[in-house]
Amino acid sequence: MDLKLIPAQPKLGLVNILVEIPAGSKNKYEFDRNMQSFTLEKVLHTSVHYPYDYGFIPNTIAEDGDPLDGMVIMDQPTFPGCIIASRPIGMLEIIDGKKYDQKILCIPDKDVRFDYVKSLNDIDTHRLDEIAEFFRTYTNLEKKTTKILGWKNIEAVSSLIQKCIRNN
């Protein structure tokens, strides 16, 4: 899979998320650029599972040196390698180990059930708490700590995405 062929932004207001891990999975897959394939990085040590489809925005570089992470709220999981044109609505800022990290939260552009969602304000607070709790606890049994810094709304996301595209 040639990631250079996948635009970070298919059009203004959208990003492409390349799914690595489908919702409900305890398997942590990663795209290996050298092998041009998905590999199993690990099986989560805790009893939690990924709450939504999780992956990254191709052709971006975030502050941690990796592509910008993204998660798409979906009713049904997709599969590793699926590209989802998505509307960013906010981001979760965390310290993962000792590294600052951002997780962009998105809505699928092709699902009319989410047309009303424009920002984090349109998502139930409990759902946002569940997502944050997943990231807080998914590495506990590995003796790693994750600190949740909090949610930022869409205004902060737009400038971050542009910066990460320029960093590529």
Q: What is the pLDDT of residues 32-61, one digit of tens each?
A: 999 999 999 999 999 999 999 999 999 999
pLDDT of amino acid 58 = 98
pLDDT of amino acid 106 = 98
Residue 143 assigned to a binding site = no
pLDDT of amino acid 97 = 83
Q: In this structure, which topology does domain 3-167 adopt according to CATH?
A: Inorganic Pyrophosphatase (3.90.80)
Residue 75 assigned to a binding site = no
CB atoms within 10 A of CB 82: 15
Residue 115 assigned to a binding site = no
**Which run of H or of E encompasses 146?**
strand 146-153
Go through the chain and tell me how many residues it has: 168
pLDDT of amino acid 75 = 94
Nearest to 37 by CA among 77, 3, 6: 3
CA dist list (Å): 109 to 79, 85, 117, 118, 165: 17, 6, 10, 11, 20
Tokens 């009893």 found at: 47
pLDDT of amino acid 98 = 86
Residue 101 assigned to a binding site = yes
Residue 11 assigned to a binding site = no
Residue 29 assigned to a binding site = no
Give average pLDDT by consecutive 10-residue segment, the chain, 168 residues.
Answer: 95 97 97 94 95 98 95 97 98 93 97 96 97 94 92 94 96
Nearest to 90 by CA among 100, 103, 79: 103
